[in-house]
Amino acid sequence: MPENETRHYDVVINGASVAGCTAAILYARQGAKVALLERRSSMTAHKVLCTHYVQASAYPVMAELGLADALNGIGAIRNSADYWTKWGWIRPEAKTGPGVLPHGYSVRRQSLDPLIRRMAADTEGVDLRLGHTVNELLTEDGRTTGVAGVAGTSPDGPFALRAQLVVGADGKDSTVARLTGAPSETAENNRFSYFAYFRGLRHPEGRTSARVYYLDPDNAYVMPNEDGVTVVAAVLSKTRLDDFREDIEGAYLDFVRSLPEGPEIDKAERISKVIGTVNYPLISRHPSGPGFALIGDAALTSDPLSAVGCAWAMQSASWLVETTAPALTGDDPLDGALADYAKRHATETGGHQHLIADYALARPFNEIEAFMFEGAARDTRLAEHFHLFGSRLMTVEDYMAPEIVARTEKVTGWSLSEESLRILSGEAPGAATHPAGSDGARPESTEAAR
Output the pLDDT for position 444: 38
Cα gap 191→360, rounded to integer Å: 7
Output the pLDDT for position 142: 43
- Helix, strand, coil tally for the chain in percent (to 5): 40, 25, 35
Output the pLDDT for position 442: 46
CA contacts within 13 A on the Cβ side of 319: 27
Nearest partner of 338 among 315, 322, 351, 314, judged by Cα = 322
Using CB atoms within 10 Å of the CB of residue 348, give its burial: 0 to 12 exposed, 13 to 18 middle, 19+ buried: middle
3-class state of residue 107 by DSSP: coil
Nearest partner of 189 among 249, 87, 278, judged by Cα = 278
Indicate the pTM of the whole model: 0.93
- In the predicted model, residues of the chain with pLDDT beneath 50 are 1-2, 142-144, 432-450
pLDDT digits (tens, 9 = 90+) for 379-436: 999 999 999 999 999 999 999 999 999 999 999 999 999 999 888 877 766 554 444 4
Nearest partner of 283 among 267, 305, 298, 262, judged by Cα = 298
- Give Cα 409 to chain centroid, integer Å: 31
Output the pLDDT for position 184: 97
User: What's the order of all strands across the beta sheet hosting 300-301?
Assistant: 184-187, 282-285, 300-301
Give ∠ CA 331-333-164 in degrees, rounded to 5: 85
Output the pLDDT for position 141: 57
Pair 193, 223: CB distance under 8 Å? no
Cα gap 93→383, rounded to integer Å: 8
What is the number of helices (H) and of strands (E) in the chain? 15, 22
CA contacts within 13 A on the Cβ side of 52: 28
Output the pLDDT for position 423: 84
Cα gap 19→38, rounded to integer Å: 12
Which letter, b or e, does each residue of 72-99 get, where b requires 16 or more Cβ atoms within 10 Å of its Cβ?
Answer: eeeebbbbbbbbbbbbeebbbbeeeeee
